[in-house]
Structure 1
């Protein structure tokens, strides 16, 4: 269909569109109002309205050919149509009719296309080619695709001031990633700094690109409020504009949203919970990394890409008109984002991550993960291929390290569980039976605790 449309000349395209409009107008006759009975035939009205304004209703959300449409907007449209015919209780009647339409257009799901981007003026196929034809989709961007748009000079200058050059590619790929409804990349993006650098401008640009396909919600609220999850249904992006420094008490929801591949249980106030799909990606801005009270697993940290922004220059003069300038470059920014999306897809949804960011993420994890920091310390444990160490002796060495480094230690059970899960990555082997000094206990092969070898009594440090 795309190739056939592109092969037509402009005059033929215009003629076909005019014929389509005439046919639509001819079928637009009002036959749902009975003048003698002064009554509206709701069944006929629903059929007439849907022909005039095609709709789908999925997961509590109305969609038309241009994407998500609010119920209030539809009610207003119905009220305007009914005004010449209904003189009393018109709002109640409009709501009644809308409820009938809701069930008439109810669908299990919306088409989710990952090989194309739906723009305001048509469909862009990622493998090349644009057609002005529209189709029903889960998300339509409120902007036009313009292949001749000018390079977004001010946007690129802003990024050069905000990010290190090697990190701009990561942001470009992520902003392209949010154009299509998929979570294949299985990552959220964090921009962290000390404040005042302009991180929130990225969120402003995303709003220009996505319109009502984006929500603003805190990560903490998403992880703790059972109703917040349903608000992300049908969305492409959730932004946390001011990420709290409080550690998350539960990371299960966040991990599930970032990697979601199947239906999730969603709940709205006053309604029965139901199973729905989420394709929302998470972007957050803050002054520190996202951390957890209890979850120090690889699964939690590998879902985060943390870009540290540049410090604000003392000589920088803030541009009070920057938002307007960036808005004027929206069509050029679209082309920039599409470049990132194509690169991400070519790389099988693996983001370009700079060595700087890898190092930053390692350091951030060390700050939050005392076990990892302990294993990379010196003087408390030593690695040797045939060495043996009981779990008790290893924990004592950890407690000694925590005491001397003013670090709040993990509980014994938590420490033992985490070390056992990470044993292979740490270069050690978990054994159920370790024999030392005629005693058998659980432990590890491949390291020993220095305080035991050096015969330093641990009781000296217990009071710390």
Structure 2
């Protein structure tokens, strides 16, 4: 700490600050009012905070700072404060910076920031989904790195890239999903996978989207989100999470992924060495890989109904890749933004129901069948039939299922998994679980009504 300031120095901190500011016109720190320095050369923390906030509007929710451009990273805030106080402090600066940040948390404490589903914050203002636009910025959770320009030309390179990447019937689904990512909502209750064998250029989509979403997007892995308790907190305030190289291994659990995809309330978020808090996650998952997302134990329809699966075209053998394609397409980002808005408006008009092609529906069915062989078993002929007025015990159904697996070179799952699937999907299958299925000797057993086994386990 500097000591023994002269009376002239004590009286002229604001003048000195004004002079410093005028000499540094490009300095991002607008606060140059040194009236928060006491007569003995110390910092009045309350006065500092009030003066800082007056020139740098911020709010703090659950320990996270928000400014006019969204989340304010703590390290950037530390650097700004350091630049201010290093003019008057020479010792213990780092500790004082931390103290001032804690004081700022109290000064700017806000219970919450509202989820704004009616607007999108962009570089040059706020776009409202009713079509209005305001050229002034507002406090927000995140701001996209794109201008709203209603006169932006059609993004021809982007559209050609999509046409080369996927079948044309699947482009509306991609348009709606990317538009869905523009607002902080999970009402669509879907994640999207774009799958191929490799070399199609699908991961370039993630790089292009990153240029538009900027800090509102996070690159991570879906496996980490499910199994690392700290990874979920990293998704707070993010509109999108991209996994650009999804692993082929089946997930051990799926509870957190399913919850996040459909979440419309708060969930527990943990950060290292900090008390967990209840936070809202509205992140949408965009996954790129060579195979669909699968689960080791979760074979339920609920896991798969949350998935949109788009498969890529096979690239032509004579294709020559352009190493600068991403940079070229990014020049069209204002037009891409308008294209995404068009998809969002269509999705909202359809009450968050996505346009899904027959091809995409087939992709989902194939993924379900490859992960859960109960589905093709139930669709097979010669083993069971669904008919009103018939019954079958759980034991009989499982025995016939095992016989089907043996004859189709499939590995049978446990009886708990098979019968659990039948119970979870009983309404859709037109069957009814029961504990009063008649067996020999007048006894009763567990089973289902509306299903009948056509063969015995011994094949007769």
Q: TM-score, normalised by structure 2?
A: 0.90
1:310 aligns with 2:280: no
In structure 2, C-alpha distance between the alignment counterparts of 1:439 and 1:421, rounded to whole Å: 28
Aligned pair partner of 1:189 in 165, 189, 192: 192
1:27 Cα deviation (Å)? 9.9
1:443 paired residue number: 447
Say whether the 8 Å CA contact 2:32–2:84 is kept in structure 1. Answer: no
Deviations 1:175-229 (A, max 9, x none): 1111111111111111111111111111112211111111111111111111111
Say whether the 8 Å CA contact 1:389–1:443 is kept in structure 2. Answer: yes
1:360 paired residue number: 363
In structure 2, C-alpha distance between the alignment counterparts of 1:60 and 1:188, rounded to whole Å: 29
Aligned pair partner of 2:350 in 347, 350, 354: 347
1:19 paired residue number: none
Is the alpha carbon distance of 1:439 and 1:409 closer, same or farther for their aligned partners in structure 2, counting shifts above 3 Å? farther
In structure 2, C-alpha distance between the alignment counterparts of 1:27 and 1:299, rounded to whole Å: 53
In terms of mean alpha carbon deviation, does 95-104 or 247-256 score higher? 95-104
Is the alpha carbon distance of 1:76 and 1:27 closer, same or farther for their aligned partners in structure 2, counting shifts above 3 Å? closer
2:394 paired residue number: 391
Say whether the 8 Å CA contact 1:112–1:137 is kept in structure 2. Answer: no
Aligned pair partner of 2:417 in 404, 414, 417: 414
2:269 paired residue number: 266
In structure 1, C-alpha distance between the alignment counterparts of 2:416 and 2:442, rounded to whole Å: 21
1:31 paired residue number: 35
2:252 paired residue number: 249
In structure 2, C-alpha distance between the alignment counterparts of 1:268 and 1:326, rounded to whole Å: 37
- SS in structure 2 at match of 1:40: coil
Aligned pair partner of 1:117 in 117, 120, 134: 120
In terms of mean alpha carbon deviation, does 368-377 or 424-433 score higher? 424-433
Aligned pair partner of 1:232 in 235, 260, 265: 235
Aligned pair partner of 1:57 in 53, 57, 60: 60
In structure 1, C-alpha distance between the alignment counterparts of 2:423 and 2:155, rounded to whole Å: 51
1:425 aligns with 2:400: no
In structure 1, C-alpha distance between the alignment counterparts of 2:232 and 2:31, rounded to whole Å: 41
1:143 paired residue number: 146
Give runs of aligned pairs for residues 212-227 of structure 1, distance below 5 A.
212-227=215-230
Is the alpha carbon distance of 1:26 and 1:122 closer, same or farther for their aligned partners in structure 2, counting shifts above 3 Å? closer
2:91 paired residue number: 88
In structure 1, C-alpha distance between the alignment counterparts of 2:61 and 2:298, rounded to whole Å: 34
In terms of mean alpha carbon deviation, does 111-120 or 435-444 score higher? 435-444
2:76 paired residue number: 73
1:176 paired residue number: 179
Deviations 1:126-183 (A, max 9, x none): 1111111111111211221111212111111100001111111111111111111111
1:457 aligns with 2:454: no
In structure 2, C-alpha distance between the alignment counterparts of 1:27 and 1:323, rounded to whole Å: 39
Aligned pair partner of 1:105 in 105, 108, 119: 108
In structure 2, C-alpha distance between the alignment counterparts of 1:377 and 1:386, rounded to whole Å: 20
- SS in structure 1 at match of 2:60: strand
Aligned pair partner of 1:325 in 321, 324, 328: 328
- SS in structure 1 at match of 2:95: helix
Give runs of aligned pairs for residues 157-168 of structure 1, distance below 5 A.
157-168=160-171
Structure 1, unpaired ranges of 5+: 1-24
1:84 Cα deviation (Å)? 2.3
In structure 1, C-alpha distance between the alignment counterparts of 2:439 and 2:90, rounded to whole Å: 92
In structure 2, C-alpha distance between the alignment counterparts of 1:208 and 1:186, rounded to whole Å: 25
Is the alpha carbon distance of 1:288 and 1:26 closer, same or farther for their aligned partners in structure 2, counting shifts above 3 Å? closer
In structure 2, C-alpha distance between the alignment counterparts of 1:335 and 1:407, rounded to whole Å: 48
In structure 1, C-alpha distance between the alignment counterparts of 2:41 and 2:170, rounded to whole Å: 66
In structure 2, C-alpha distance between the alignment counterparts of 1:229 and 1:352, rounded to whole Å: 29
Say whether the 8 Å CA contact 1:203–1:239 is kept in structure 2. Answer: yes
Q: TM-score, normalised by structure 1?
A: 0.89
In structure 2, C-alpha distance between the alignment counterparts of 1:186 and 1:415, rounded to whole Å: 26
Say whether the 8 Å CA contact 2:300–2:424 is kept in structure 1. Answer: no
Q: How many residues align?
A: 431
In structure 1, C-alpha distance between the alignment counterparts of 2:259 and 2:450, rounded to whole Å: 35
In structure 1, C-alpha distance between the alignment counterparts of 2:45 and 2:388, rounded to whole Å: 80
1:304 Cα deviation (Å)? 0.8
Give the alignment's Cα RMSD to 1 decimal.
1.9
1:89 Cα deviation (Å)? 3.0
Say whether the 8 Å CA contact 1:264–1:277 is kept in structure 2. Answer: yes
Say whether the 8 Å CA contact 1:28–1:48 is kept in structure 2. Answer: no
Is the alpha carbon distance of 1:444 and 1:96 closer, same or farther for their aligned partners in structure 2, counting shifts above 3 Å? closer
1:28 Cα deviation (Å)? 6.7
